[in-house]
């Protein structure tokens, strides 16, 4: 069960949905107040995600700062009419955290990591209430439904940024097995959450 502390920033974020497009336009016009509003809406979420990956408060704040700077400088790449800036920002935050984690651990940076800037146009027409508490509960429920091995590979991939060969080594399982687990887990998540996703 989620506590109030978990729900609160998510409730804040949900009300950002209808205002996302106006916010993007103002950011693209270089309105600094828009950046402040963006931070008020998504700063807590981004920080929570980065902290979950990094587990160091000071470094997490540095990376969140880099995330917002990157969004500020690349906001023109997102669709101003249908863009979903929250999911895009979170994706950038997650990638910055994973990049840091991999670099500090002496692991090679993942060359196949999706470039969120390149794919910014894809962050559009997403569910405006994507971060509402109910949705997050559904994500948690979907994760809980996964078998432990499936859930582990999802968490290693998402929060640790591991490649499938790295997961294979860590878990002591053949690479083919890891690939099967990963594919099955992601398809299960997709099926569990898919009804909430808008189509275009």
The sign of the torsion formed by the CA atoms of 77, 79, 85, 91 equals negative
CA dist 64 and 25 (Å) reads 22
Q: Which of residues 80-109 bind other proteins (CB under 8 A)?
A: 86-87, 90-91, 93-94, 99-100, 103-104, 106, 109
Nearest distance in Å: CB 22, other proteins: 19
- Residue 171 or residue 193: which is nearer to other proteins going by CB? 193
Binding mask 133-172 for other proteins (x = CB under 8 A): --xx-xxx--x----------x--xxx---xx--------
Nearest distance in Å: CB 172, other proteins: 19
Asked if residue 65 binds other proteins (CB under 8 A), the reply is yes
Nearest distance in Å: CB 173, other proteins: 15
The sign of the torsion formed by the CA atoms of 117, 194, 13, 113 equals negative
Q: Which of residues 170-199 bind other proteins (CB under 8 A)?
A: 182-183, 186-187, 189-190, 193-194, 197, 199
CB 68 within 8 A of CB 108: no
CA dist 17 and 15 (Å) reads 5
CB 78 within 8 A of CB 125: no
The per-type count for the chain, helices as H runs and strands as E runs, is 9, 0
Neighbours of 5 (CB within 10 A): 7
Q: Which of residues 37-56 bind other proteins (CB under 8 A)?
A: 39-40, 43-45, 47-49, 51-52, 56
Determine which residue in the list 110, 173, 177, 180 makes contact with other proteins, applying CB under 8 A.
110
């Amino acid at each position: 069960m989620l506590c109030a502390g978990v729900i609160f920033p998510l409730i804040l974020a949900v009300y950002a949905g209808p205002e996302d497009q106006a916010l993007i336009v103002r950011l693209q016009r270089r309105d600094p107040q828009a950046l402040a509003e963006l931070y008020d809406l998504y700063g807590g979420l981004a920080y929570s995600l980065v902290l979950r990956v990094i587990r160091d408060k000071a470094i997490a704040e540095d990376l969140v700062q880099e995330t917002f700077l990157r969004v500020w400088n690349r906001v023109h790449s997102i669709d101003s009419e249908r863009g979903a800036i929250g999911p895009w920002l979170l994706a950038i935050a997650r990638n910055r955290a994973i990049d840091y984690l991999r670099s500090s651990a002496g692991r090679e940076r993942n060359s196949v990591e999706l470039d969120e800037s390149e794919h910014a146009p894809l962050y559009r027409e997403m569910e405006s209430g994507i971060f509402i508490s109910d949705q997050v509960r559904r994500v948690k429920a979907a994760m809980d439904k996964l078998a432990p091995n499936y859930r582990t590979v999802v968490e290693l991939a998402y929060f640790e940024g591991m490649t499938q060969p790295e997961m294979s080594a860590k878990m002591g399982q053949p690479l083919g097995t890891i690939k099967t687990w990963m594919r099955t887990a992601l398809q299960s998540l997709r099926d569990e959450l898919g009804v909430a996703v808008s189509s275009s």
